[in-house]
Amino acid sequence: MNKKIAVIRGDGIGPEIMNEAIKVLNKVGELFGHTFSYTDVDMGGCAIDKYGEPLPDGELKKCLESDSVLLGAVGGDKWNNVAGDKRPEKGLLKLRAGMGVYSNNRPAKIWPQLIDASPLKPSIVEKGIDFIIVRELIGGIYFGEHKTEGSTATDIMCYTKDEIERIGRIGFETARKRGKKLCSVEKSNVLDTSRMWKSVMHELSKEYPDVELTDMLVDNCAMQIVKNPAQFDVIVTENMFGDILSDEASMITGSIGMIPSSSLGDSSLGLYEPIHGSAPDIAGKDIANPIGMILSAAMMLKYSFDMNTEADAIEKAVFDVLEDGYRCADIFPQSSTTCKKVGCIKMGQLIAEKLKK
């Protein structure tokens, strides 16, 4: 297959980790007979320096004309005093809106080699943590009316059936490609939006008889994620609940440098990025962990290009490199006498070399 990928290196460690993801993708191309072509897109602080704005229309157009978009990270202290509407993060919001990506998908996965890095007890972690939170991204209370009148503040949470249905479909489709279990999380004992959410999910489930649907109240879910995370395969939830639960879920897996994400809309054009920022404190030192970025590229192969085997091969290569004891600084256990500390470039190279068909 030939695929055109828009590549946004961004700022800070963005360019460093992106180089390693491209190294791994090129190896996948070689092994599996695909051609990936890359179009560089300027976004964030580097675009402000070059064009005076964080995502010029021409750069957005390059993304829309690609098969998928890979993003490193944007932002940094240098642009902190730039006016609000020109800040690097505005580029990200313009990109998401321009691409129409309403579903943010963030996996929570513990690598068996990194069990010690989790704040949970080994007895819980050892049962396995491997689930995805599918979060509605452009609706709900964050996008409702916000107002303060005297001593009263109000935020409106509003969802239409269509908005719920489109995110529900992403949840079911994601579950279908994984363990076929979908947990719909809401607060239907209190909220009307949640009662509508629940009923739309059950209506949709008739179209996905191969996926087992369960319901869970959000407060219970927050508890279950730390009590028994092994029970989850895919969680689908609204914007604010997903925001909170996905941070909780990423924390239980160890380092922020390990976690990828995808944002999807109605088409296969997706936006794939690690969950961390541009980490200016470690930029240019070859110590950033590129694994979150590399796993974002694997998600792109799976969810935008339907290349499941290739995505699995990347995950297996990451597993094998960790198994061999290689660690970047953020996941290096201080007391270890057996692990080997490696930099960003070496980690990317090791993963590319481990890839097998």
CB of 96 to ligand NAD, least distance (A): 10
Instruction: Check if the beta carbon of residue 21 is closer than 8 Å to that of residue 299.
Output: no
Q: Which two tokens stand for residue 271?
A: 């936006």
**Catalytic hit among 49, 162, 247, 312:** 247
Active site residue 330: no
CB of 60 to ligand NAD, least distance (A): 16
* x/- letters, 283..322, toward ligand NAD (CB under 6 A): -----xx--x------------------------------
Sort 166 into a burial class: Cβ within 10 Å, 0-12 / 13-18 / 19+: middle
Q: Is 281 in the site for ligand NAD (CB under 6 A)?
A: yes
Q: Which residues pair with 185 in a beta bridge?
A: 216, 237
Instruction: Check if the beta carbon of residue 72 is closer than 8 Å to that of residue 15.
Output: yes
Q: At what angle do helices 308-323 and 344-354 cross, to 10 degrees?
A: 120
Nearer to ligand NAD, 171 or 292 (CB): 292
Q: Is 74 in the site for ligand NAD (CB under 6 A)?
A: yes
Q: Say how far apart CA 219 and CA 202 lie, in whole Å.
A: 20
CB of 45 to ligand NAD, least distance (A): 8
Nearer to ligand NAD, 94 or 276 (CB): 276
- According to CB under 6 A, which one of 125, 277, 327, 350 is a site residue for ligand NAD? 277
Sort 344 into a burial class: Cβ within 10 Å, 0-12 / 13-18 / 19+: buried
Q: Which two tokens stand for residue 55?
A: 């995502």
Helix or strand holding residue 150 (H, E): none
Q: Is 348 in the site for ligand NAD (CB under 6 A)?
A: no
Q: Which residues bind ligand NAD (CB under 6 A)?
A: 13, 73-76, 89, 92, 256-257, 273, 276-282, 288-289, 292, 330
Active site residues: 142, 187, 219, 243, 247
